[in-house]
Amino acid sequence: MKKIILIIVLAFAACTMPVEEKGAGFFKYDAEEKYVVSTDDVTDVWIKYIEAHNNRDIEAIMSMETDSISITAPGGIKVSGKEMHKEVLSGWLEAEQPKWDIYWAMPYKALKKDQNWVIAGHWVTTSVDGEEKTEAHMIDARIVDGLVDLFYVYSLEASEASVSE
């Protein structure tokens, strides 16, 4: 009987012990970094951020990012800080009327650094002098305490990109 109780206690203990996440992937500059899927809470931050862009709600956008936001856009354009972002974004929204359509997203977590990220694909349509242009944009964004802190934008002409189901 003691053996049965011991087996039950050990089985229960084994079931409740936390499992260490091993992760996968790599980061060239930190060989020990690995990644796992994060939560949709991270994805939701990005979706709301893009919705605010589509609504042209600059104040909402600013409230959803850190003061030290850092953005690297296509062509090597770098934006540092909220004030610079507000100025650059306001000009772009007025000049080209961009609209975003997110077609996929996946949240992930860097285990060693305990950072949450989201990678997402968007169709971005701009309009200049009535002429529309659509590009595929891929972003890789770091989310810190529910705020957008940093992101990279990669682009590809829509004629060169396609999404298959």
What is the pLDDT, as a whole number, of residue 27? 86
Task: Give pLDDT, residue 95.
Answer: 96
Mean pLDDT by 10 residues, the chain (165 residues): 57 60 86 92 98 98 98 95 97 96 97 96 94 95 98 86 56
CA triple 65-70-74, angle to 5 deg: 115
* Helices (H), ranges, the chain: 2-16, 40-54, 58-63, 82-96
CATH number of 37-160: 3.10.450.50
